[in-house]
Chain A
Amino acid sequence: MTQTKAKTRGGIMVILHRVAILFTCAAVFYPGFNPGRITTEISRYTSLLTSCISYKSLVGNIGRALSRGWVQASTFRLLMAASAVLLIGIILAAIGGCMSVGNDRMRFYGARFPLIGSVVMAVGLVLINVAHGQIVAAGNDRVPPNVSMGFYLFIVLTVLIFLTSLAILFLNGKKEDLSESKMGMKEEYHLFLLFLPILALAFVFSYLPLWGWRYAFFDYSAGQELSMENFVGFKWFTYLFQNSATRADLVRVIKNTLAMSGIGIVTSWLPMVFAILLTQINSKRFRRTVQTFTTVPNFLGWVIVYAVALAIFSTDGFINNFLNNILHIKAGTNYLMDNSHMWIKMWLWGTWKGLGWSAIIYISSISGIDPMLYEAATIDGAGRFGKIWNVTIPQLMPTFFVLLLMSIAGILSNGLDQYLVFENAMNHDAIEVLDLYVYNIGISNGLIPMSTVVGMAKSLISVTLLFSANQVSKSLRGESII
């Protein structure tokens, strides 16, 4: 009875302990939480980790202030050292955090690390404060001192880690019955710790960007700080539709997107036909050669495809040379600057690049079809086309159906590369798809909130489409596609 009670008490402490350590570790990487931003002149994009390992990035914006003697270089050396001390403390805490998932004995001994670590962190924070004091003392307006949110955050975290490790030491330590004689860890937690780095990376690169959706609600341009002053609510959402210029742009872009994806979907049976026709040919050598050469373009990037396009279709490209030299027709058109039939042309490039590759999946499926089915068809007197129509195509339908649903779900995502490389002043209006539009307004023109709104809408619609497609697949075939 008493033991369970002790365990629960310890349990809450241990969870708090781990959360504090986990959060501290995460804050190391995030510039917004850098406790060492002692002056607003330090870049907003410098994290605690960066300040520890790169003096160059730390003083990147302060070069002039240093050379003019507005502030002392020693201050920043001190800051760097202080950050390093802080980081050492955090590493100690992290070791303890990992050990806290072990058995009682391991947790008990492990708690010493964060205890020492939090003291080291406190030293680091004091040193940062000293550096901050030097900036204040320098008293130069052009290097204004700053106490960042991260500084307070780290004070809180340090105290929390100190107290929780102390608590673990006392709660477990008072009882002398640490039943296990050896330190150890349950297999399930050990495996989890091994998997943790993978999860952390997935979190940082896939989930953390979602936090960037907040820019959609602010009046923000690159380099500014987000604050409640420039919070604008849903302004950008309504702006997209109320401003006639952006509305027209949006309509045009959506039209391009749906048209080009639409052409792709309507012709998505082509790879299947390609595969069926190719498998009709007897010579294995011939089939193999065709397959090898027609799949190569798929493995070349869109920049290369554009280079090829230039070599063939530009003013001094192959087509014009051929007309001039072989057919003796005077020619000199740059076909790539032409604005007509852009949708079809983009589809043709996509088909040239991808048809052979998309057919492979069908070719493999065809070779997996049960020979009995063909034999039965032969007995029934079916010829070549009869067999294709009654055996091959029905057998390929499930694959076709899945791929079709996937392409419908991805109707808004044409990708960026193809349209970006082929875009020029002449064809801009007809080639701009949603992905390119987001790139153009967000990255090229710096309209961050507006492009975030468009990107957000696109992501949400795409996910909805995907799940609807999945539902359709489930109800029709009883199988999910994701």
Chain B
Amino acid sequence: MAENVKKIAHARHTAMGIEYKRSPMDRVFMVLNVTFFILFTILCIFPFYYLFINTISDNDLVNRGVITLLPQGIHIQNYIALKNVSDFGQSVFISVTRTILGTAVMVLASAFAGYLTTKKEMWRRSLWYRLLVITMYFNAGLVPWYLNMLGLGLTDNYLGYIIPGIVQPYNIILVKTYIESIPSELEESARIDGASNMQVFSRIILPLSKPILATIAVFGAVGNWNSFQDSLILMANTPALYTLQHRLYVYLNSSSNLANVMQSGGNVSAAMLNTKVIQYTISMVTIIPIMFVYPFMQQYFEEGIMLGAVKG
């Protein structure tokens, strides 16, 4: 029994191209290999660790540049103090609502459009489908896009975040491909029971395509949370509509701006806070949601990239 298990494990390992017998050369290679990955992993996470220890350490020490590897004088005042940075709260609100709303409508629209494009009966289906797919491969350019949004009244307007993102051809293709893999008998039997298109969609297709919808939802949410360009270009005249990333960009570029906001903010003494620490803290707040959600969603991200690969 145990021998069998060992055999299977061995087979799997050889399948991955891994040898058990180790020559000295091989050992050296393995050590170098593992070292490389450890170093690269540290390189990837250390900056975030550094940001984090600077936000929780004594602000005075941070200012003097003492905090390099370990936190000192731990406190969470900086995070509490953010509530006094008025623009920041507004930006969090904008980013959170647009992430939820934007993702929800995009997923629903992709599911619905994906379902409809599987319907061969649709009048001129392949024409419409092609017109939709082509939009992935060209764009008119930044300025015509901006002028179009201006013409539609979607600049300096919250809807400018939501409406343009509803139709995502790539996601529609993913959902379509997925629905096509669902056995058609399920839909047929519902048809026999007299279900309409909408009933089939909401009772059968929607529940069955949950995995793919979760995948596009995760990608959509990250995209919305990281959105920077549309805020920068479309909402230039309305600071109340800046997303969190855009707000952070403004603060990173003009610390005087941030200092003013903090002074007008109120009860925390200026000595306690400084722009550098607040920059770090706001960066952390922007990072944390993704860091927290990522490990749970990693599976969906990976499925997503493989789906894209299958599609080619």
A binding-site residues for B, Cβ under 8 Å? 29-32, 45-47, 49-50, 57, 187-192, 194-195, 198-199, 201-202, 204-213, 215, 277-282, 286, 289-290, 292-297, 299-304, 306-308, 310-312, 316, 318, 320-322, 324-326, 352, 355-357, 360-361, 364-367, 369, 371, 374-375, 378, 383-384, 387-388, 391-392, 399, 402, 416-417, 420-421, 435, 438-439, 442-443, 448, 451-452, 454-456, 458-459, 462-463, 466, 479-482
Contact = CB atoms under 8 A, between A and B. Distances in A.
A395 B44 CA distance: 29
14 contacts: A45-B153, A190-B197, A191-B121, A205-B163, A212-B141, A215-B147, A303-B228, A303-B248, A303-B249, A364-B302, A369-B15, A420-B232, A439-B142, A463-B137
Given A198-B112, A278-B37, A361-B306, A308 B48 contact: yes
Q: Which 3 A-B pairs have the closest CB atoms?
A: A455-B141, A212-B144, A301-B226
B298 interface: yes
B142 A451 contact: yes
Contacts of A479: 312
B305 A387 contact: no
Interface residues of B, number: 100
Interface string B17-29: 1110000001001
B92 to A, nearest CB: 15
Given A194-B116, A211-B148, A371-B14, A304 B283 contact: yes
A362 to B, nearest CB: 10
Contact of B36 (A187, A277, A279, A383): A277
B182 interface: no
B153 A295 contact: no
B135 interface: yes
A264 to B, nearest CB: 18
Nearest to A402: B312
Interface string B82-103: 0000000000000000000000
B268 interface: no
Nearest to B164: A205
B51 interface: yes
B238 interface: no
A212 B145 contact: yes
A1 to B, nearest CB: 27
A392 B14 CA distance: 12
Which among B128, B143, B166, B172 has the highest number of chain A CB atoms within 10 Å? B143
Given A278-B37, A280-B18, A320-B65, A307 B153 contact: no
A407 to B, nearest CB: 14
Nearest to A371: B15
Given A45-B150, A202-B167, A215 B143 contact: yes
Interface in B1-53: 11-19, 26, 29-30, 33-34, 36-37, 40-41, 43-45, 47-48, 50-51
Nearest to B134: A206
A326 B68 contact: yes
Nearest to A462: B138
A195 B143 contact: no
A364 B121 CA distance: 37
A60 to B, nearest CB: 11
B291 interface: yes
Given A209-B140, A281-B34, A188 B123 contact: yes
B33 A281 contact: yes
